[in-house]
Amino acid sequence: MNTHEQRLRWLQTHHFNSLSLDRNGDHRCNYMTAAAWMLYSPDDFSDVAPEVKQQMADTDTIWRLQIYPDSPVGFLVWHGPTAEYVIDAAMAHFERAK
């Protein structure tokens, strides 16, 4: 389990082309619940585990971390119920990619 400081340090010290961390950036501005948004945009959530989708629906909260690792063209994205969840998922991804 990563601490808040470890997560923040990881975001600050990795030299990605760019990244954005967003909470409720899509569904709330469209006057939708998190559950409705996931149904509206199923492709965005196709790789999210059912229990994670349920947590997002239950809390009406979707966090999204989007990282352009090397260029402004290709990106990776993680969705989850908390900022910690998406940052930990990204950290694990890049650790496996080493």
Please report the pLDDT score of residue 15 as a whole number. Answer: 83
Please report the pLDDT score of residue 72 as a whole number. Answer: 74
Please report the pLDDT score of residue 98 as a whole number. Answer: 76
One digit per residue, pLDDT tens: the chain, 98 residues?
A: 689 999 999 999 988 899 999 999 999 999 999 999 999 999 999 999 999 999 999 999 999 999 999 877 889 999 999 999 999 999 999 999 87
Please report the pLDDT score of residue 30 as a whole number. Answer: 93
Please report the pLDDT score of residue 97 as a whole number. Answer: 83
**Which are the contacts of 92, defined by CB distance < 8 A and separation ≥ 6?**
none
Please report the pLDDT score of residue 2 as a whole number. Answer: 84
- CA 53 to chain CA mean position, Å: 12
pTM over cut 0.85: yes
